[in-house]
A = this chain, B = another copy of it.
Amino acid sequence: MAISVQLLDTPFNPGALVGPFTNAHPGLGGVCTFVGEVRGGNGVEALELTHYELMTRPGMKKLASLAAQRFGLMGLLMVHRTGVMHPGEPIVLVSACAQHRRGAIDAVDFCMDHLKARSWFWKREKRSGAGPNGGWHWIEPRADDHTDLARWQ
């Protein structure tokens, strides 16, 4: 079982990470991968993710171990960006490989729900325009994220 957790402050290419990850697990039955990107639209020009190093990385490692064990994974790759990003850039990648599809898909679902609602990241976005609608705005938590999380309890 190989777990890899990465916090990156520069852009990454999902394909360049998932290919080698998959190849490193011969005998797998399935690989599920989710990649989240910065959404454009609504005048969003940039997104900034800040985190708290002392807690973010240990938290991600704990989540990865929990998922690997709960879903009987063969491998788990979890990558998260920090810093300033632009629309279209990947923010997060979770890739899980397992003997059967159910474990791989559920693990990705589980990790994403927990990364969204439980991880130590704070997000603000820069919107175009002048006045109070333009500039940087902190993103508040969404109720959906907590509903999603409750599915696993």
A residues sitting closer than 8 Å to B (CB atoms) are 14-15, 18-19, 22, 26-37, 39-41, 87-88, 99, 101-102, 104-105, 108-109, 112, 116, 144, 148
* Beta-carbon contact of A39 and B29 below 8 Å: yes
* Beta-carbon contact of A27 and B41 below 8 Å: yes
* Beta-carbon contact of A34 and B112 below 8 Å: no
Task: Return chain B residues, CB-CB under 8 Å to A148.
Answer: 102
- Closest B residue to A99 by beta carbon equals B39
- Can you name 19 A-B residue pairings with CB atoms under 8 Å? A14-B22, A15-B15, A15-B19, A22-B35, A26-B40, A26-B87, A27-B41, A27-B88, A28-B37, A29-B36, A30-B36, A32-B33, A32-B35, A32-B108, A36-B101, A101-B112, A102-B148, A105-B108, A109-B109
Nearest CB in chain B: distance from A86 CB, A = 12
* Beta-carbon contact of B15 and A27 below 8 Å: no
* Beta-carbon contact of A30 and B40 below 8 Å: no
- Closest B residue to A109 by beta carbon equals B105
Task: Return chain B residues, CB-CB under 8 Å to A22.
Answer: 14, 35
Nearest CB in chain B: distance from A4 CB, A = 17
- Closest B residue to A39 by beta carbon equals B29
Given contacts A26-B40, A33-B33, A101-B112, 13 further A-B contacts (CB under 8 A): A14-B22, A15-B18, A28-B37, A29-B36, A29-B37, A30-B37, A32-B32, A32-B35, A34-B101, A34-B105, A36-B101, A101-B116, A105-B105
